[in-house]
Amino acid sequence: MNLQEKIAGLCVKAKTASYSLALAKDSERSGALRILSEKLRRPEITGKIIAANDSDISYAKENNLTAALIDRLKLDETRINNIADALLKIINLPDPLNRGEVWTRPNGMNIKKIKVPLGVIGIIYESRPNVTIDAAALCIKSGNAVVLRGGKEAIFSNTVLAELIKSALSEAGLDPDCVQFIDDITRESANILMKQRGSVDVLIPRGNAPLINSVAENSNIPVIETGVGNCHIYVDDSADFDEAAHIILKSKTRSSVCNAVETVLVSQKIYKDFLPVMKRRLDELSVELRGCEKTCEILSCAAAEDEDYYTEFLDYILSVKIVEGLDAAVEHINKYNTGHSEAILTQNLNNAREFCERVNAAAVYVNVSTRFTDGEEFGFGAEMGISTSKLHARGPVGPADLTTVKYIIDGDNLVR
């Protein structure tokens, strides 16, 4: 059997299993996740996962992956327990299925609009092995089958985790075929998965910009784009300097995540006084600054190129630009951003309201770090990714976003 036939077969199995999973009760779906959470905490299973992860870490070091990427890859007892805890949060979410509304037309026709699963969700992702559990759990909770295709960086960890998920499904009395794992890590396997229209209903890429762009451009399956986060913080002239500098620092503390701040915009009314305050805090992380001409006059930093303002650095690098005010800040953000997360730091209620109304992004914050754009922080337990699409979901993608609608109509022998 060649790779094309193998992957097509996995997707068909997922499609077949999806029908029974869609009919399973929430207690049955959540029961499988509870079993999985309990399994993750067993010392012998935790040890098996860590041993597999050690192989991935060794491979990463041999191939000179950055410290930030290795950190994203690493699983230890604490992180595995955190994954198990996240499963309990997903379990406790309301059942996203069969909710809806009912109305009756003048002719007596009753219409019911209910939430149903999407069907089969394919996810192509990189680095983070926790995504294997998160994605499968969110799909199971929402009644969807899932086809997982992780990256080469975490192949050993992902293989063990996928086996664990399938065993939990079996113990819960659900069809283990509703979770499929592609163990081929070549680019060809991703390309084949992108073409499984008819078996896979939605494809979600989760990773860096080249991966997401490749899936969006080459898939013949509908795609929910996630992840790329060129996030901004605008420091308004009424902002508290110490609080603003603290929020900016904390928005950069985890530099390798998509919700980290990449550009700070500062009102020209305060930049001479604020920039030194900001720099003192950012020096705690040895953040490299790249600034506009006015920034460079105040701080000793490299000059920013236009490309820097388009860049998701995923590193301890921050671009800085001085703007005339709110209008210029909004114009800059809407030109350079990726529609992920944007923030304003201000004590001016009108400016805050206007910023929220005018900025084009999935999440807009007032006096809050961009780092809160996260499924767990939003109360979802986890997320399939942060969608920067406007269709079908936007922001952290939780169980409720992995559904579509079905209309059920009845009447008394009605004809048109």
Model confidence pLDDT, tens digit, residues 86-111: 999 999 999 999 999 999 999 999 99
**With bands split at pLDDT 50, 70 and 90, how would you rate the model's confidence at 183?**
very high
Residue 181 has pLDDT above 80, yes or no: yes
Residue 41 has pLDDT above 90, yes or no: yes
**With bands split at pLDDT 50, 70 and 90, how would you rate the model's confidence at 256?**
confident
- Asked whether residue 207 falls in the same domain as residue 341, the answer is no
- Asked whether residue 105 falls in the same domain as residue 178, the answer is yes
- Asked whether residue 347 falls in the same domain as residue 392, the answer is no
pLDDT at 283: 96
Instruction: Give the closest residue to 183 by CA, choosing from 144, 153, 210, 150.
Output: 150
3-state secondary structure the chain: CCHHHHHHHHHHHHHHHHHHHHHCCHHHHHHHHHHHHHHHHCHHHHHHHHHHHHHHHHHHHHCCCCHHHHHHHCCCHHHHHHHHHHHHHHHCCCCCCCCEEEEECCCCCEEEEEEEECCEEEEEECCCCHHHHHHHHHHHHCCCEEEEECCHHHHHHHHHHHHHHHHHHHHCCCCHHHEEECCCCCHHHHHHHCCCECCECEEEEECCHHHHHHHHHHCCCCECCECCCCEEEEECCCCCHHHHHHHHHHCCCCCCCCCCEEEEEEECCCHHHHHHHHHHHHHHHCCEEEECHHHHHHCCCEECCHHHHHCCCCCCEEEEEEECCHHHHHHHHHHHCCCCEEEEECCCHHHHHHHHHHCCCCEEEECCCHHHCCCCCCCCCCCCCEECCCCCCCEECCHHHHEEEEEEEECCCCCC
pLDDT at 249: 97
Identity of residue 172: A
Contacts 24+ apart (CB under 8 A), 57-66: 59/152, 59/153, 59/156, 60/153, 65/153
- Asked whether residue 142 falls in the same domain as residue 238, the answer is no
- Asked whether residue 37 falls in the same domain as residue 92, the answer is yes
Residue 42 inside a domain? The answer is yes
pLDDT at 228: 85
Instruction: Give the closest residue to 262 by CA, choosing from 359, 373, 355, 336.
Output: 336
Q: Which one-letter DSSP state was computed for residue 402?
A: G
Residue 286 has pLDDT above 90, yes or no: yes
Angle between helices 43-62 and 155-171 (to 10 degrees): 160
pLDDT at 1: 86
- Whether residue 45 contacts residue 164, with contact meaning beta carbons closer than 8 Å, is answered with yes
pLDDT at 43: 97
Residue 380 inside a domain? The answer is no
Residue 258 inside a domain? The answer is yes
Query: pTM of the full predicted structure?
Result: 0.92
Residue 377 inside a domain? The answer is no
pLDDT at 141: 98
List, for residues 47-82, the tens digit of each pLDDT value: 999 999 999 999 999 999 888 788 889 999 999 999
pLDDT at 226: 87
| Number of domains observed in the structure of the chain | 2
The CATH number of whichever domain residue 292 belongs to comes to: 3.40.309.10
Per the prediction, the chain carries an average pLDDT of: 96
- Asked whether residue 159 falls in the same domain as residue 144, the answer is yes
- Asked whether residue 243 falls in the same domain as residue 163, the answer is no
pLDDT at 97: 97
- Asked whether residue 206 falls in the same domain as residue 265, the answer is no
Full residue range of the structural domain in which residue 47 is found:
3-227+387-410
Residue 308 inside a domain? The answer is yes
Residue 328 inside a domain? The answer is yes
Residue 127 has pLDDT above 90, yes or no: no
- Asked whether residue 367 falls in the same domain as residue 394, the answer is no
Residue 227 has pLDDT above 90, yes or no: no
- Asked whether residue 309 falls in the same domain as residue 260, the answer is yes
Rounded to an integer, what distance in angstroms lies between the CA atom of residue 148 and that of residue 180? 6
Cα-Cα end-to-end distance for the chain = 52
Sheet containing 179-181: give its strands across. Answer: 179-181, 145-149, 120-125, 202-206
- Asked whether residue 237 falls in the same domain as residue 222, the answer is no
The CATH number of whichever domain residue 76 belongs to comes to: 3.40.605.10
